[in-house]
Homo-oligomer: A and B are copies of this chain.
Amino acid sequence: MTQRIQRHLLRVNLTTGKLDREVIPDEDVQMFIGGRVLGDMLLYNELAAGIDPLSPQNKLIFGTGPLTGTNASGSSRYIVHTRSPLTGLYLNSLAGGYFGPEMKKAGYDVIIIEGKSERPAYLAISDDKVELRDAGTFWGMTTGDAQEFIKDELGDSKVRIACIGPAGENLVLYAAIISERRAAGRGGAGAVMGSKNLKAIAVRGTGEAEVADPEAFRMALRHAMRDIADNPAISKLFPLYGSLLAMPALNEGGIIPWRNWQEAGSPGGVNLFAQTWRKKFVRKDIRCAPPCNIKCTKLSLATEGPHAGVLTEGPDYEAEYSFGTCCDITDQPAIIEADALCDQYGLDTISMGVSLAFAMECYEKGIIDSKDTGGEELRFGQARLLAKSIRDTAYRRGFGELLSQGTKRMAERFGKGSEAFAMHVKGLELGGYDPRGAKSVALVFACGSRGGCHKSGGSANALSLKELPTGEARFSTEGKAALTKASREPRVVADSAILCIFPQAAMSDETIAELLSAATGFNWSAGDLYTIGERGSNIERAFNVREGLRRSWDTLPLRLLTESVRSGPTKSQVVELDILLDDFYGLCGWDIETGIPIPDKLNELGLPEIARDMERYYSITPST
């Protein structure tokens, strides 16, 4: 039997202190599911174009999906939408853990934060009871301490908290929001939270996440479990090695960037491989929260040497890439410390490591010197630089002030050709997959809604692993746009469910449709959901077009377009981006010349208002 689920939105105005509870119309769920696509729509509608991301005019939208809080494996996630201070564009950022389910159990599918508090504040939610409280006590605290002492102040050890650390308070452009030790990392949502003087959201819910058809949902859960069990990589190997699992293949195939993408595939990478790591450092396999049966997170502890006693939940593949291969650092405990410090100060590990690697290359090339670095010899391979750079970045002191701006702004400042190897797209530092070795990944980065993200425009990991066994075919542009597109829209759907990328990789699209249909009461097919995925992609695109994005922005660092690596299997490869973009735009229904979604396509997706909005942008000369 199917019941109606009423979904709610909490609106918090930090300027006025006004708190409102609103009902989310059922049609919005039908059109946008929840999580990512629902947040896309809200962000598009609620933000005026051109606002300063760090001004009170920006908003933070915390969202859950229909699966959040249920027993679906990998559903313990929340998503934050905002305008990114790092890219100036659309941003969503997700994190696993207990915060999302707790928000749902407190009765809120979405929380919109508006305005700016006059003094440091935090939002305390306990079911229907919502209050803004003074956060003066906690301002300046690291994320671990802040969570501990906020729980203490509220007298409830079961409260769940999403907060910022010093990096967010100090408006570091890639500051993260942290819950437990998990980051909504990319794009600087933590800086937006800091700009609003909001230290934390603490939430406690005593309700349950409801589903529309419990019986059908139980059946769908069984199918989901079967899909996962049938996929040994996800069900057997992933629990052992997490996201480090594919490192050997990606390293051998020349996918892992090395020394700021000067090379691909790292000889030192072998030290970072999953088996070695697990044996020496892993103490425990950790899940986000109980409904996950994969446990991809590895709790790592250094027990010897100068970093003894340092512990982190991770590092994941991206941290291994950004602090490890990208900076040419193989000192594993130093990487554990770097990962832990990013969580404590509230920093995105990818942007942090890639920014440092960029600065290292600039230093080695003589583009900057020790006068710029405050006397520091910024060379590749220096493990001791990790902790120092992270601390200085979080507090924007010394050379950390430059690092805190990210690669794009550093390159603008340094000049001298450094822009060519500033490894970002639209300001967001790239995830660790070299598209010169798997051409479909080029489109993930070039056309991802939030910039050079390895996930928001499809899964760079899954695409790399799909392309690697194809031999020489992986260097061809043929069929790659379709591959990317087929990966992109299901990802948007999963981010709306919300479903983690790893169980999603095991579940069939039909199973996901079954789960979402039972949870919402809408009888979605896999095809219906694909359309909703496209809807989200196009709202995100339209948001960015409104901020100035045109085809010329859908590009990659010059290094990937013109330079090839010196050795290894990807030798002599560059990315033929224009061919790929033509194909991809065609599949997306975007104008080939401008990259703006075509009104027909938007109308077909049920977005007539956005179609009208886009029409007027055809006549505007794109800014750059």
Residues of A within 8 A of B (CB): 136-138, 140-142, 144-145, 149, 157-158, 165-166, 283-284, 299, 301, 303, 306, 308-309, 311, 344-345, 391, 394-395
Q: A309: which of B137, B140, B157, B301 is its contact (CB, 8 Å)?
A: B140
In the assembled complex, the Cα of A322 lies from the Cα of B220 at a distance in Å of 63
Interface centre among A166, A309, A344, A395 (most CB of B within 10 A): A309
Query: Among the listed B137, B149, B165, B301, which residue makes an inter-chain contact with A140, where contact means beta carbons less than 8 Å apart?
Result: B301
Name the distance in Å between A390's Cβ and chain B's nearest Cβ: 11
A303 and B158 contact, CB distance less than 8 A: no
Chain B residue with Cβ nearest A302: B140
Point out the residues of chain B lying under 8 angstroms from A301, CB to CB. Answer: 140-141, 145
B149 contacts A308, CB within 8 Å?
Answer: no
Looking across the interface, which residue of chain B has its beta carbon closest to that of A143? B309
Say whether A149 contacts B284, CB under 8 Å: yes
Q: Which of B145, B157, B306, B345 contacts A311 (CB 8 A)?
A: B145
Are A142 and B283 interface neighbours, CB within 8 A?
no
- Whether A137 contacts B345 in the complex (CB less than 8 A), given A166-B309, A299-B149, comes out as no
B166 in contact with A308 (CB, 8 Å): yes
Contacts of A149 in B (CB 8 A): 284, 299
Q: How many copies does the complex hold?
A: 2
Interface centre among A166, A345, A395 (most CB of B within 10 A): A395
| Nearest chain B residue, comparing its CB with the CB of A388 | B306
Closest Cβ of chain B to A287, distance in Å, is 11
Given A166-B308, A166-B309, A394-B309: A137 in contact with B284 (beta carbons within 8 A) = yes
A137 and B284 CA atoms in complex are apart in Å by: 7
A111 to chain B, nearest CB (A): 23
Which residue of chain B has its CB nearest to the CB of A308? B395
Q: A158-B157, A299-B149 are in contact. Are A141 and B395 (CB under 8 A)?
A: no
Q: Which residues of B contact A140 (CB under 8 A)?
A: 283, 301, 303, 308-309
Across the interface, name the chain B residue whose C-beta is closest to A307. Answer: B391
Query: How far is A149 from B149 in the complex, measured between Cα atoms in Å?
Result: 17
In whole angstroms, what is the CA distance A345 to B283 when docked? 18
Residues of B near A144 (CB, < 8 A) are 144
Contact status B309-A345, CB under 8 Å: yes
Cβ–Cβ contact A309 & B344, under 8 A: yes
- In the bound assembly, the distance between CA atoms of A283 and B136 in angstroms comes to 8
CB distance from A8 to the nearest CB of B (A): 27
Complex contacts, A308 vs chain B, CB 8 Å? 140, 166, 391, 395
20 CB-based A-B contacts, threshold 8 Å: A137-B283, A140-B301, A140-B303, A140-B308, A140-B309, A141-B283, A141-B309, A142-B309, A142-B311, A145-B311, A149-B284, A157-B157, A165-B309, A166-B308, A166-B309, A306-B391, A308-B395, A309-B344, A309-B345, A309-B391
With A and B bound together, what is the CA distance between A140 and B280 in angstroms? Answer: 13
A299 to B149, CA, bound (A): 10
* Distance between Cα atoms of A308 and B140 in the complex (Å): 8
Q: Which B residue's beta carbon lies closest to that of A304?
A: B395
Q: Which 3 A-B pairs have the closest CB atoms?
A: A157-B157, A140-B303, A145-B311
**B residues near A395, Cβ cutoff 8 Å:** 308-309
CB distance from A393 to the nearest CB of B (A): 12
* Distance between Cα atoms of A309 and B141 in the complex (Å): 6
Chain B contacts for A311, CB-based, 8 A: 141-142, 145
A166 / chain B contacts, CB cutoff of 8 Å: 308-309
Cα(A496)–Cα(B166), bound, Å: 44
The smallest beta-carbon distance between A280 and chain B, in angstroms, is: 12
Determine the residue in chain B with the shortest Cβ distance to A340.
B145
| CA of A157 to CA of B158, assembled, Å | 7
Min distance, Cβ A172 to any Cβ of chain B, angstroms = 13
- Minimum C-beta distance from A210 to chain B (A): 24
Residues of B within 8 A of A283 (CB): 136-138, 140-141
